[in-house]
Chains A and B, each alone.
Chain A
Amino acid sequence: MTVQTLPHSPVGDILPRRVRYRTWPATLAIFGAVVLYLGVLMAWDERAPSGTPVAPGQTVPVGRGLSYVPAEGWVIDAPRVQPEKAHGVRRDSLAFSVAVSEWNGTAREPMDRAMRIALTAKEAGYFGPESSFTTSGGLSGRTVDLFGMSTHGRYWVVVDEARKLALVAQAHGTPDQFHREEPALRAMVDSLRIQAAP
């Protein structure tokens, strides 16, 4: 077997060579860039003010004819607002939101789904007993308390079969604040109204 060596062949440049090379400067730069990108965005989001305060007594439209009156001193939780779908307000660590959507399924499923989401998202470790509620506007549904490691929350679920709508209101925050603001939460749920069908 004859072996020909072509050390200066231009094609030598394109042959892969299994040689040692440093990757740590580029690796460090990549790691730094990723951490910086995520860190800056998350810190900025954390520090950015959530939203504007709500005027006392102001009725806020959620969508599909649903509206409610946020409690005084709460601010609009802009990231939770989805035009024609959902609205939210917050006070310190306590958040309250209402979502409305078309619903053609069983009356039970929206509550089951909300509870499964709370469990799997680790917002809840266990639930309190379910009970029924009725608002002064005539909406009636089911409500349940949820308890997490350091959170207390509640769901209010209404299925309006006539209008084919499901309404899910939820509140969660630290147990202390939840109890302190419970009257405000009840007032907001009580203010929920759906416009009469045309």
Chain B
Amino acid sequence: MNTLELGRPGEIGIDGFFQPRRAAFWLLVLFLANGAYSVATLFLTNYAVVPQGLLTALVVWTIYALPFLFFLWHLDLFEQQSRSTFLLAFAWGGLGAVYLAIPANNAIFSLAAKLGSPEFRDSWGAAIAGPTTEEFLKTTGIILLVLVARTQFLTTLSVVVTGAMVGLGFQIVENVVYSTNAAIAAVNDDQVTPVLSTLLVRGFLCGLWSHSVYSAIAGFGVAQFMFRRHETLAMRVGWFLMFFALAWGLHATWNSPLLSPIQSVGALGPLLYIVAKGLPVLLIGIWIWRMALVQQSDYLAQVARHFVPEPSLIAPEERDTLSGLGTRRAARRALAKAHGRPAARALHALQRAQLRLLVACARHGRGLFTAGAEASVRRARRRLEARTGAVP
């Protein structure tokens, strides 16, 4: 067996997030601890006023978050990101960013009323405060996480998914706060119905094109700064600012009253209004995700070429299809037609094992760290050959 090793022993690998020797770690801890205290105090306050409202909000928004977490987990191909990255990103969005955003947004709303008018604040306050404060703070979290352990972020996709997690954390905690505010402002003693109404509007009608997408776009900008090392610093900053501005602009447009007249277009006006505002955000989010996937595919193909030359691990015909989501799916479909669905499932298992091997190689180089992943590939290949009747 050949083992490829790069650099000095022990130098290649991934840092954890516990980095007490790095200043960024302590700033992250400071903001997270303050955020946890602040959000817990806010929730306790709301519990004292509308206990049923808060408990209902916590339950429904936790349930709501689960499919999104699952989706983002799978967007990050094959557990490239550690659980701690997801946890910290979610915590930054839900604790650090929310805690810092509340006083800043309050000040902007207050200034909009004082310098403009209460009507101006009601119309445009959210369009000014929302993107300016929230995109800045959420992106700050992405940058802090990268600073603490930059080796955790090997590809554009890993930063984009981290950004989406930051946004999801922000979105969920913000929605819990909105729900309890709705319960406090309820028109009767019922605290549950306002929470469910908020879930319907903010969760199901507006949730797909919300903070997760904005932060994923800003995260893509952070990734461009990180990975375009061949370009000048000014260019890299320019890339970052461009995507940050895109996230800011989409958020501002969503919060602004510019498209409000659509609401009065017939009976379907309100629905049309949400789609008109949200669809561009979703489409741009998909475009960003596809660009990140393309970069991810190039990266995986490069890792495969250099670290896994053996055909027994990745056959020549598999190399072209392995790194792309669509090409992997097409290969499975073709196999399903020829040998049935069990064979396609076996190929799926093989592809996952191969990708895990590539991710392990990308993290540690080829060696003892990847021995388990190599064995998994060989096992998966034997199962596939048993299904297809191929001779090893």
| Interchain Cβ contacts under 8 Å between A and B, 19 examples | A2-B2, A6-B6, A7-B7, A9-B6, A14-B362, A18-B10, A26-B24, A27-B23, A27-B147, A37-B136, A38-B107, A42-B104, A44-B107, A48-B111, A78-B117, A79-B110, A103-B187, A105-B189, A116-B49
- Which residues of chain B are near A196, meaning CB under 8 Å? none
Q: State the CA gap A103–B185 with chains docked (Å).
A: 10
Known interface pairs A17-B12, A48-B111, A113-B49. Does A37 touch B104 (Cβ–Cβ under 8 Å)?
Answer: yes
Please determine whether A120 and B188 come into contact, CB atoms closer than 8 angstroms.
Answer: no
Picked from B11, B100, B113, B305, the residue with its CB within 8 Å of the CB of A17 is B11
A101, B185: Cβ atoms closer than 8 Å: yes
Residue B339, interface by CB 8 Å: no
Residue of A nearest to B5 (CB): A3
Q: Are A15 and B6 in contact (CB under 8 A)?
A: yes
Query: What range describes how many residues of A lie at the interface?
Result: 35 or more
Which B residues touch A24, using CB under 8 A? 23-24
Q: Are A78 and B118 in contact (CB under 8 A)?
A: yes
For chain B, residues 3 to 52, give those with C-beta under 8 angstroms from any C-beta of chain A: 3-7, 10-15, 21-27, 31, 44-46, 48-50
A6 and B125 CA atoms in complex are apart in Å by 57
Q: With a CB–CB cut-off of 8 A, which chain B residues contact A34? A: 31, 100, 137, 140
Q: Is the CB of A117 within 8 A of B3?
A: no
Question: A166: nearest residue on chain B (CB-CB)?
Answer: B187
| Least CB distance, B203 to chain A, in whole angstroms | 24
Say how far A157's CB is from chain B's closest CB, in angstroms.
15
Contacting residues of chain A (1-49) with chain B, CB-CB under 8 angstroms: 1-7, 9, 11-12, 14-21, 23-24, 26-28, 30-31, 33-34, 37-38, 41-42, 44-45, 48-49
- Of A6, A26, A102, A120, which contacts B44 at CB under 8 A? A120
Chain B residue total in the interface (Cβ 8 A): 71
Task: Give Cα distance in the complex from A51 to B184, angstroms.
Answer: 27
CB distance from B327 to the nearest CB of A (A): 21
From B107, B136, B362, contact of A42 by CB (8 A): B107
Among B27, B31, B117, B305, chain A packs the most CB atoms within 10 A around the CB of B27
Q: Check B13–A18 contact: CB distance below 8 A.
A: yes
- Asked if residues A4 and B122 are in contact (CB atoms below 8 Å), the reply is no
Name A14's contact: one of B24, B45, B118, B303 (CB within 8 Å): B303
Q: Does A119 contact B (CB under 8 A)?
A: yes
Contact yes or no, B109 A79, CB < 8 A: yes
Query: A38–B104 contact, CB under 8 A?
Result: yes
Q: Does A162 contact B (CB under 8 A)?
A: no
B115 interface hit (Cβ, 8 Å)? yes
A16 to B369, CA, bound (A): 14
Determine the residue in chain A with the shortest Cβ distance to B118. A81
What CA separation (Å) do A149 and B12 show in the bound complex? 58
User: What CA separation (Å) do A22 and B12 show in the bound complex?
Assistant: 18
Decide: A41 and B111 in contact? CB cutoff 8 A. yes
CA–CA, A16 and B184, complex, Å: 50
Contacts of B257 in A (CB 8 A): none
Report the nearest B residue to A119, measured CB to CB.
B48
A6 neighbours in B (Cβ, 8 Å): 4, 6, 306
**Assembled-state Cα–Cα distance A82/B112 (Å):** 12
Q: Does A106 contact B (CB under 8 A)?
A: yes
Identify the stretch in B68-76, B148-156, B194-202, B239-247 within 8 Å (CB) of chain A at 4 or more residues: B148-156
Assuming the contacts A15-B362, A18-B10, asked whether A101 and B187 have C-beta atoms less than 8 A apart, the reply is yes
Let me know if A30 and B144 touch, CB within 8 A: yes
The B-contacting residues of A in range 97-115, CB under 8 angstroms, are: 101-106, 109, 113
Quick check: B48 and A116 within 8 Å, CB to CB?
yes
Instruction: Give CA–CA (A101, B5) in the complex, Å.
Output: 70
CB pair B3 A16 closer than 8 Å: no
Beyond A45-B110, A109-B189, is A7–B6 a contact (Cβ under 8 Å)? yes
Nearest-neighbour CB distance to chain B for A43, whole angstroms, equals 9
User: Measured between C-beta atoms, what is the minimum distance from B17 to chain A in Å?
Assistant: 13
A140 contacts chain B at the CB level, 8 A cutoff: no
> Once bound together, how far apart are the Cα atoms of A104 and B5, in whole Å?
73
Distance of A101 Cα from B181 Cα, bound (Å)? 14
Cα–Cα distance between A1 and B5 once the two chains are bound (Å): 12
Q: Report which of A33, A50, A113 forms a contact with B184, defined as CB distance below 8 A.
A: A113
Q: Is residue B365 within 8 Å, beta carbon to beta carbon, of the partner chain? A: yes
B150 to chain A, nearest CB (A): 7
Contacts A48-B110, A79-B110, A117-B184 supplied; 19 other A-B pairs, CB < 8 Å: A1-B1, A4-B4, A6-B306, A11-B303, A11-B306, A14-B154, A15-B6, A15-B7, A16-B362, A17-B7, A17-B12, A20-B21, A21-B150, A27-B23, A37-B136, A41-B104, A42-B104, A79-B121, A105-B186
